[in-house]
Structure 1
Amino acid sequence: MTTPLPDLWTDWCSVTGVPTDKIDEVSLSCFSQQAQPSQAVLAALRRRLAPKDPPAPAWPRGHTEDIGSLQRLIRRATAIIQHPDTHWVFRLRLRRMLFAAVLLAPRSHGGLGLDRSGALGLRPDGMHRVRGQIGVAPEPEDCPACATWSWLDVIGTNSGWSHSSVRVLGHRRDEVGSAHRHLRPDPNPDWHLSIGMLPAVDRWGWIDAYGSMHPSSLSAVISAAALLLDGPEPAPAPVPAAAAMPANPRRQMSREEEEQILKRADELTARVEAILREFDTGR
């Protein structure tokens, strides 16, 4: 028996004139932007797009069936990236981790489902071919396509500009409340000249322009991603005083509760940073 198409999809198709059986990446991207469907609806449509989802052998065990895991990982890492106290080299490594996660996550999650060798062996021409298959989320802070755009900006800057330009980019945080980054043109298309899409990043922020990281380093990146998925929510960035008071006050958290939550979040962030730092080779 064939599972019926989601009502939201058929309604959107009737309004936009898209045939209901035209389930491809372009249509799904437009549908996601305009109708803002739930992840369950998107997953159902993606199963039609690729009925036999690749096993994604490198994705953290325990999260293979967790369709929202990739977006949750992106949202949690983005919270650390956006925090003003995050060191710029750690920020670069987090962006690389999210790009690796997009390559490795199952297609039903919005990723590409590659194995370790496929991710490490990916070259710009291959990335260009599969980029349109990467998932899109309603919000930029957990969007796989936006995370990809940000990392391509980094390696494009590394390829065509100076190390100081990479450092400036490492200090930069994403604009809050802006439109999806992946809808903009690539700011540094020199990523097409890169050799490895997953290079090492040493402790001074130098990015290896001549190859991909060692397989053991990718395993460490996967471990850091799993830790971030399984741990508590990262500490949020400080809220400006003018925006600190919510419109509808909720139960006030005690100072002790708040300190305990922030302590656990800081410990998690430190562990993730240590893992990513330990396995990056020197320049």
Structure 2
Amino acid sequence: MTTAAVPELWTDWCSVVGVPVESVDEPTLTRFSQQARPTKRALAALRHVLGPERPVAPAWPRAHAGDPGSLHRLVRRVTIMVQDPATHWVQRIRLRRMIFAAALIAPPSHGGLGLDRAEAIALRPSDFVRLRPRIGIADDPASCPACAVWSWLAVIGTNNGWSHGAVKALGHRRDAGGAHRHAEPDVSPDWRLCVGMLPAVDRWGWIDGYFSVHPSSLSMIIGAMTIVLEGSEPVPSPEPEPRAPVREVSDEERDAIFARADEVAARVEAILSEYGH
């Protein structure tokens, strides 16, 4: 308990009646309320300060709260799925959103911000500008929360300032490997103009430009994080076989093809004329 945050009226009352400042229970608060007549605001602040401390990262999967490497492991595994050539572009966007949500709710000791569900949903760009430097960095870009955040900001920034086609093109694109993306300038600074930073993404890849997801949807995303953390390491699909190069037709070949087509068309026309058609 921080005594500086305790209402002064409480400390004065405790001094008069002989109650230790740090020893408080509901009967004592009731007695204090009856005798000192505190404002509702002061009483609420007192209950908040003297109550149990807020748990660290309450939204993070509880089974992994004590594993400081869990956020980096989640980022690495989801990055494998993002980079998989078989991943559909809409799913790739949703996976990027999942890693961003993970960076918001993971404990600070893991490299996250430790936000609860309500704080993550209510997060605004102006708040995130201030909080962004606290996001953790990993040696491996594929496990780096700050790089994953960079990729998601590119998505919502593009959605805010460009067309759906541009978002789709970004969804088809896989992240370049070998270097930290978070060290580069943001692809689209328009993310700073977004309203919700954890928007819904429908089955066609349309991203809600006005609101963050419903709390129940965020709970489903967090549930998916648990599945990824507790499952086996993803195995990417093999790269597709390169297509055989298409042979280009020369000018001479093209002229010959057109001449042959004209010849066939003339013969068909002659046959039709012969039979009166």
Question: TM-score interval w.r.t. the shorter chain?
Answer: 0.5 to 0.7
SS at match of 1:197: coil
Provide the rounded CA distance (Å) in 1 between the counterparts of 2:131 and 2:83. 28
* 2:216 alignment counterpart: 216
Displaced runs of 4 or more, over 4 A:
none
* 1:192 alignment counterpart: 192
Identity %: 63
- Does the CA contact (< 8 Å) of 1:125 and 1:192 recur in 2? yes
Shift in CA distance, 53/89, structure 1 to aligned 2, threshold 3 Å: same
* 1:180 alignment counterpart: 180
Deviations 1:29-58 (A, max 9, x none): xxxxxxxxxxxxxxxxxxxxxxx9961000
- Does the CA contact (< 8 Å) of 2:61 and 2:226 recur in 1? yes
Provide the rounded CA distance (Å) in 2 between the counterparts of 1:111 and 1:121. 17
* 1:113 alignment counterpart: 114
* 2:104 alignment counterpart: 103
* 1:158 alignment counterpart: 159
Aligned residues: 189
Tell me, which stretches of 5 or more residues in structure 1 are unaligned? Answer: 1-51, 242-283
Q: Which amino acid aligns with 1:169?
A: L
Deviations 1:68-91 (A, max 9, x none): 000000000000000100000000
* 1:227 alignment counterpart: 227
- Does the CA contact (< 8 Å) of 1:74 and 1:143 recur in 2? yes
Provide the rounded CA distance (Å) in 1 between the counterparts of 2:201 and 2:240. 32
Alignment TM-score, normalising by the size of structure 2: 0.66
Provide the rounded CA distance (Å) in 1 between the counterparts of 2:54 and 2:239. 41
Provide the rounded CA distance (Å) in 1 between the counterparts of 2:237 and 2:100. 22
Provide the rounded CA distance (Å) in 2 between the counterparts of 1:91 and 1:204. 12
SS at match of 1:62: helix
Alignment TM-score, normalising by the size of structure 1: 0.65
* 1:46 alignment counterpart: none
Deviations 1:130-153 (A, max 9, x none): 000100000110001000000000
Cα drift, residue 239 of structure 1: 6.1
Deviations 1:164-218 (A, max 9, x none): 00000000001122x1000000010000010000000000000000110000000
Provide the rounded CA distance (Å) in 2 between the counterparts of 1:215 and 1:77. 22
Choose 1 or 2 for highest CA Rg.
Answer: 2
- Does the CA contact (< 8 Å) of 2:141 and 2:177 recur in 1? no
Provide the rounded CA distance (Å) in 2 between the counterparts of 1:148 and 1:176. 15
Provide the rounded CA distance (Å) in 1 between the counterparts of 2:156 and 2:74. 21
Provide the rounded CA distance (Å) in 2 between the counterparts of 1:239 and 1:161. 30
- Does the CA contact (< 8 Å) of 1:82 and 1:237 recur in 2? no
Shift in CA distance, 54/183, structure 1 to aligned 2, threshold 3 Å: farther
Provide the rounded CA distance (Å) in 2 between the counterparts of 1:181 and 1:114. 24
Provide the rounded CA distance (Å) in 1 between the counterparts of 2:77 and 2:148. 12
Provide the rounded CA distance (Å) in 2 between the counterparts of 1:236 and 1:66. 25
- Does the CA contact (< 8 Å) of 2:85 and 2:239 recur in 1? no
